[in-house]
């Protein structure tokens, strides 16, 4: 049983939200100011999915503060989960799947940490975790579902079933997950934090509505009028957002729909280094790409303008 | 671009035999890799009214040859899609009953069609921690029927999986139904050696067809559990030039075809 009472306590989560300022004012902040809102021991939900729209700039800024005792959740966890493990930042991972993808093999870092019992690895089905965020976004302690029933996944986190009060059928009572903090990366926002996303929405809206504190990076900060011209495209309302940071290429080298493609060769070099040096490979990566660069601009220089432009060209080709 | 091999590869065989399981006007919830190629092959050859759905939240993509997706959640997977719902919502379409066929790839599988992609050995301190369910549990729990495509190897086919990540018929009989899984079930396992179903009643895996030049003994040698054999085992037709040409044009770099 690894589901905590705090994760699904809908009354406490509601009180936290009621006590919070839900301002329609300016939300712009620096990366450092944004992640300063994270406290040791917090549960952070990460938006995007696998290597798409991952809030990597926020994750890097967070790790530079050397946090401890965090839990992280993400529907498909990519290597940012490995960074958090090797950095000693987390005690618990909540996900449905962890790795990069078939060509890169199993996550050696996850294997090392889980097999030696150094981290709690709580596994859900993809929809199961989605419904945890959805239940929280709806302010409920659980949502009934037909998924995960009968599988051994039911006992991993401590899931319970309920008898349907109308039909008597057995349903999975998927517990809510109210994260303390959400990390999200979006295409555009106005300075108040009204956010718009292009392409697949993943689970970002549910995560934004589920979390107590919402930190957003945006590729572009646009005038308020631009949001008002297409309000139907807004997927996160400003009143849910606590801090907004302007970070172009904020999920690079992961992809951002229509703006830049991912960098599979970069993933390959990262994995090759782990094959050679184990967790030491990740530590070297963190030194170079996370702790090293003083600014996001310096970080992007490690990749070079040509690579960024090529990623942008590939993305254009993939959405036309 | 690599030259196509003179022999049919295992993944080509799986894609062809998988494609033939799909009918026109169906909806198919497919994973990446071989199931994805099989779904496109069916669509191009005999099932033009087939709709492909992918767990990244993608409905009706038309994948670009040579730019096939590695994950279900990337721009390549969404290429020319008709709709991009949130991930939770695309799975809820399956829970509602809109998805006819779930099409998933290899894993450790047992005689009741249960799949393990979580852990080998004990769950708490496993010998090998595997990546996890992803959407496989949802697909197998929620689609009307599920077809599994897998290379047929002794290490993948086990008497009892170490951990049921994705439920087939659980312990057989009506145990799947009794767990609350009211719908669906694994209808077919397509392997590199033949086609398998599940015996009515016991729900144990049963050999129903052999691919050309494969014998029952060869299948038994790669299947450690007590495999049932249908009264009449048929033989499949070898992949045609047309089927192979469609597949090879889709994946010219042979990223998935092997």
- What pLDDT sits at residue B3? 59
- Closest residue in B to A201 (Cα–Cα): B86
pLDDT band at B106 (very low <50, low <70, confident <90, very high): confident
Q: Which residues of B touch A107 (CB under 8 A)?
A: 131
Instruction: Give the gap in angstroms from C-alpha B213 to the nearest C-alpha of chain A.
Output: 31
Question: Does residue B253 have a pLDDT over 60?
Answer: yes
Supply the ipTM of this predicted assembly.
0.97
Taking 60 as the threshold, does the pLDDT of residue B1 lie above it? no
Q: What angle do CA B242, B247, B250 make, to 5 degrees?
A: 130
Output the six-digit token pair for A178: 């109210």
List the catalytic residue out of B12, B55, B145, B208. Answer: B55
Confidence at residue B4, expressed as pLDDT on a 0 to 100 scale? 63
CA torsion sign for A186, B92, B150, B166 is: positive
> Rg of chain A's alpha carbons, rounded to an integer?
19
Mean per-residue pLDDT, B28-43: 95
The mean pLDDT value for B195-214 works out to 97
Provide the shortest C-alpha distance from residue A87 to chain B (in Å): 20
What is the pLDDT tens value at each position of chain A, 320 positions in all? 789 999 999 999 999 999 999 999 999 999 999 999 999 999 999 999 999 999 999 999 999 999 999 999 999 999 999 999 999 999 999 999 999 998 999 999 999 999 999 999 999 999 999 999 999 999 999 999 999 999 999 998 899 999 999 999 999 999 999 999 999 999 999 999 999 999 999 999 999 999 999 999 999 999 999 999 999 999 999 999 999 999 999 999 999 999 999 999 999 999 999 999 999 999 999 999 999 999 999 999 999 999 999 999 999 999 98
Mean pLDDT across the stretch B226-241?
A: 97
What whole-number percentage of chain B has pLDDT above 70? 98
Peptide bond into A253 cis (omega under 30): yes
Torsion angle, alpha carbons of A168, A169, A171, A173, to 10: 0
Average pLDDT value for residue range B59-87: 95
**C-beta atoms of A134 and B88 within 8 A:** yes
Residue A81 has a CB neighbour count (10 Å cut-off) of 26
Measured CA to CA, the distance from residue A67 to residue A83 in angstroms comes to 12
Class of the A5-253 domain?
A: alpha beta
pLDDT band at B228 (very low <50, low <70, confident <90, very high): very high
Task: Check whether B2 has a pLDDT greater than 60.
Answer: no
> How deeply is B118 buried, as exposed, middle or buried, from its count of CB atoms within 10 A (0-12, 13-18, 19+)?
buried
Measured distance CA(B39)–CA(B53) in Å, rounded:
10
* Annotation says B12 is catalytic: no
Structure tokens at B52: 């492909």
Domains in chain B, start-ordered, CATH in brackets? 10-250 (3.40.1080.10)
B96 Cβ under 8 Å from any chain A Cβ: no
Strands B115-116 and B186-191: unpaired
Nearest to B129 among A114, A147, A255 (CB): A114
């Amino acid at each position: 049983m690894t589901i905590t009472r705090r994760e699904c306590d809908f009354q406490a989560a509601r009180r936290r939200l009621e006590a919070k300022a839900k301002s329609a004012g300016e939300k712009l902040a620096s990366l450092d100011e944004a992640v300063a809102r994270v406290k040791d021991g917090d549960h952070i939900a990460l938006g995007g999915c696998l290597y798409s729209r991952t809030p990597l700039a926020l994750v890097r800024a967070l790790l530079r503060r050397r946090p401890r005792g965090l839990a992280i959740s993400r529907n498909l966890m990519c290597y940012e989960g490995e960074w958090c493990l090797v950095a000693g930042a987390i005690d618990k991972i909540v996900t449905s799947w962890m790795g990069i993808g078939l060509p890169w093999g199993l996550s050696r870092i996850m294997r090392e940490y889980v097999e030696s019992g150094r981290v709690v690895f709580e596994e859900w089905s993809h929809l199961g975790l989605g419904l945890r965020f959805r239940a929280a976004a709806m302010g409920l302690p659980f949502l009934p579902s037909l998924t995960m029933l009968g599988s051994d996944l039911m006992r991993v986190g401590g899931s319970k079933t309920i008898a349907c009060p109308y039909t008597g059928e057995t349903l999975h009572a998927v517990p809510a997950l109210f994260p303390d903090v959400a990390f999200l990366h979006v295409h555009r926002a106005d300075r108040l934090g009204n956010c718009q996303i292009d392409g697949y929405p993943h689970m970002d809206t549910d995560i934004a509505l589920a979390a107590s504190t919402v930190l957003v990076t945006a590729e572009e900060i646009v005038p308020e009028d631009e949001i008002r011209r297409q309000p139907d495209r807004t997927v996160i309302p400003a009143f849910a957002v606590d801090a907004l940071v302007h970070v172009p290429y904020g999920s690079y080298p992961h992809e951002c729909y229509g703006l830049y493609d991912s960098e599979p060769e970069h993933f390959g070099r990262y994995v090759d280094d782990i094959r050679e040096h184990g967790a030491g490979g990740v530590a070297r990566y963190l030194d170079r790409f996370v702790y090293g660069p003083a600014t996001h601009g310096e970080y992007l220089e490690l990749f070079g303008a040509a690579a960024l432009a090529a990623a942008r060209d590939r993305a254009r080709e993939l959405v036309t | 671009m690599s030259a196509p091999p003179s022999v049919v590869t295992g993944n080509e065989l799986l894609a062809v035999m998988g494609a033939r399981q799909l009918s026109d006007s169906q909806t198919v919830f497919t994973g990446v890799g071989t199931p994805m190629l099989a779904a496109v092959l069916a669509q191009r050859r005999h099932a033009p009214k087939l709709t492909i759905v992918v767990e990244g939240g993608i409905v009706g993509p038309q994948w670009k040859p040579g730019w096939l997706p590695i994950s279900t959640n990337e721009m390549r997977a969404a290429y020319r899609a008709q709709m991009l719902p949130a991930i939770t919502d695309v799975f809820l379409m399956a829970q509602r009953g809109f998805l006819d066929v779930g099409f998933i790839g290899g894993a450790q599988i047992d005689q009741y069609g249960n799949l393990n992609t979580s852990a080998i050995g004990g769950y708490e301190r496993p010998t090998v921690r595997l990546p996890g369910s992803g959407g496989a549990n949802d697909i197998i729990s929620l689609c009307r029927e599920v077809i599994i495509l897998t290379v047929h190897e002794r290490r993948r086919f086990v008497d009892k999986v170490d951990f049921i990540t994705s439920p087939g018929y659980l312990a057989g009989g009506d145990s799947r139904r009794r767990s609350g899984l009211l719908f669906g079930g694994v209808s077919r396992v397509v392997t590199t050696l033949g086609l398998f179903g599940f015996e009515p009643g016991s729900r144990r895996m049963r050999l129903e067809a052999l691919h050309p030049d494969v014998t029952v003994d060869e299948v038994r040698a790669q299947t450690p559990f007590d495999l049932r054999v249908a009264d009449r085992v048929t033989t499949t037709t070898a992949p045609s030039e047309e089927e192979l040409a469609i597949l090879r044009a889709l994946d010219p770099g042979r990223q998935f075809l092997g």
